[in-house]
């Protein structure tokens, strides 16, 4: 037990944190103590989720992430911090990193990434949605001598209601199984790598259990690589029907993106990310799944099946 990592997680009841903590619980024999740090508000409002964590043997530590005293007290007895804080709380990881580096026991920090590679190429540094995460990486680089890190870079989530699903604004890409209608981005033939949320959880666990190879690296992992047309063909196969199709060429997507930012539209971030993905920035010479022994992943067939089921259930 002494050599097993004691894990403290932030954001465990969030949209992706929930999958990460489940994957950790499913591999709990590989770890020592497992705890989540959360707010009193979340404990009061997410009673079912918190109870389920307790039932699974997870310790619940209540506090305010903005309070140094609360965070310092929570760090006691743990060596690894995993964050799945949401987009609105990315910058609040910087003091968490500084406190972790100052503590004598926290050795590893996995920040909230789980998405697009924010250092894919020279243009990445200018992308608006990347700015806060880039600051977090800079903060980790600064303390690299005291605190190790790993970035779990999964690319876009593929599973319903994410990429392989209908969109509130279909022009930014949509697969609508109730209308049997798709809007494909680009010319529909551009390759894109996707990850299911359960696989995100699995990749985090494998990163932690293969720390010797993941240490201080961006692990570029995904469930599979496909094309918008490939997704459409799988929907047509599984629904046994021909779908109607529209396209949003890259130039049009860029125009929609520009207008969304100018208007302060909430969809602006999604537009930018989808433009980045359509430009090919989820593709690598090699992916790192094998390095961390995460070979078994969900397939395009699985995610299309799940999307059809999810969309039918939502329409009833």
Residue nearest to ligand NAP (CB): 14
Is residue 88 involved in binding ligand NAP (CB under 6 A)? Answer: yes
Q: Which of residues 29-48 bind ligand NAP (CB under 6 A)?
A: 38-39, 42
Our CB check for ligand NAP shows the closer of 59 and 236 to be 59
Nearer to ligand NAP, 54 or 236 (CB): 54
Contact 63, 37 (CB under 8 A): yes
Residues 6+ apart with CB under 8 A from 277: 116, 155, 156, 185, 192
One symbol per residue from 7 to 26: x for binding ligand NAP (CB under 6 A), - otherwise; what is it? ----xxxxxxx---------
Stretch that binds ligand NAP, among 151-159, 172-180, 229-237, 246-254 (CB under 6 A): 151-159
Q: Does 289 bind ligand NAP (CB under 6 A)?
A: no
Is 114 one of the binding residues for ligand NAP (CB under 6 A)? yes
Residue that has been written with the tokens 């996707």 in this structure: 194
The pair of three-digit structure tokens given for residue 279, joined into one six-digit string:
């430009």
User: Considering the complex, what minimum distance in angstroms separates the CB of residue 222 from ligand NAP?
Assistant: 10
180 as an active site residue: the answer is: no
Contact, 100 vs 68, CB < 8 A?
no
Find the shortest distance in angstroms from Cβ 156 to ligand NAP.
4
Catalytic site residue from 48, 54, 133, 141: 133
Of 97 and 241, nearer to ligand NAP (C-beta) is: 97
CB of 105 to ligand NAP, least distance (A): 22
Q: Which is nearer to ligand NAP, 245 or 265 (CB)?
A: 265
Residue 156 touching ligand NAP (CB under 6 A): yes
65 touches ligand NAP by CB under 6 A: yes
Residue 145 in the binding site for ligand NAP (CB under 6 A)? no
Stretch that binds ligand NAP, among 155-163, 207-215, 275-283, 308-316 (CB under 6 A): 155-163
Which of 130, 69, 85, 102 is CA-nearest to residue 269?
Answer: 130
Contact positions vs ligand NAP (CB under 6 A): 11-17, 38-39, 42, 65, 84-89, 112-115, 154, 156-157, 162
Residues labelled as active-site residues: 133
């Amino acid at each position: 037990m002494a050599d097993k990592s004691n894990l403290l997680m932030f954001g465990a009841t969030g949209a992706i944190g929930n999958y990460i903590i489940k994957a950790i619980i499913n591999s709990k024999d590989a770890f020592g103590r497992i705890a989540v740090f959360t707010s009193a508000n979340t404990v009061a409002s997410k009673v079912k989720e918190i109870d389920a964590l307790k039932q699974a043997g997870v310790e619940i530590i209540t506090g305010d992430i903005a309070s140094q005293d609360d965070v310092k007290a929570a760090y006691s007895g743990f060596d690894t911090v995993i964050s799945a804080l949401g987009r609105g709380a990315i910058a609040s990881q910087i003091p968490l990193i500084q406190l972790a580096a100052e503590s004598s026991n926290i050795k590893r920090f996995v920040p909230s990434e789980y998405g697009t590679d924010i250092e894919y190429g020279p243009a990445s540094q200018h992308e608006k949605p990347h700015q806060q995460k880039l600051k977090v990486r800079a903060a980790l680089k600064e303390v690299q001598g005291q605190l190790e890190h790993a970035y779990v870079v999964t690319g876009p989530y593929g599973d319903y209601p994410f990429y392989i699903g209908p969109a509130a604004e279909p022009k930014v890409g949509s697969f609508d199984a109730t209308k049997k209608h798709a809007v494909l981005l680009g010319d529909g033939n551009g390759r894109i790598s996707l990850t299911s949320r359960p696989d995100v959880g699995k990749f985090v666990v494998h990163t932690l259990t293969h720390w010797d190879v993941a240490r201080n690296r961006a692990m570029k992992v995904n469930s599979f690589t496909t094309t918008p047309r490939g997704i459409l063909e799988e929907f047509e196969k599984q629904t046994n029907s021909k779908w109607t199709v529209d396209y949003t060429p890259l130039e049009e997507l860029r125009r929609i993106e520009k207008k969304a930012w100018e208007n302060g539209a909430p969809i602006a971030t999604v537009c930018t990310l989808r433009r980045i993905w359509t430009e090919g920035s989820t593709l690598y010479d090699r992916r790192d799944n094998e390095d961390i022994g995460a070979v078994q992943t969900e397939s395009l067939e699985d995610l299309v099946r799940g999307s059809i089921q999810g969309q039918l259930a939502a329409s009833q």
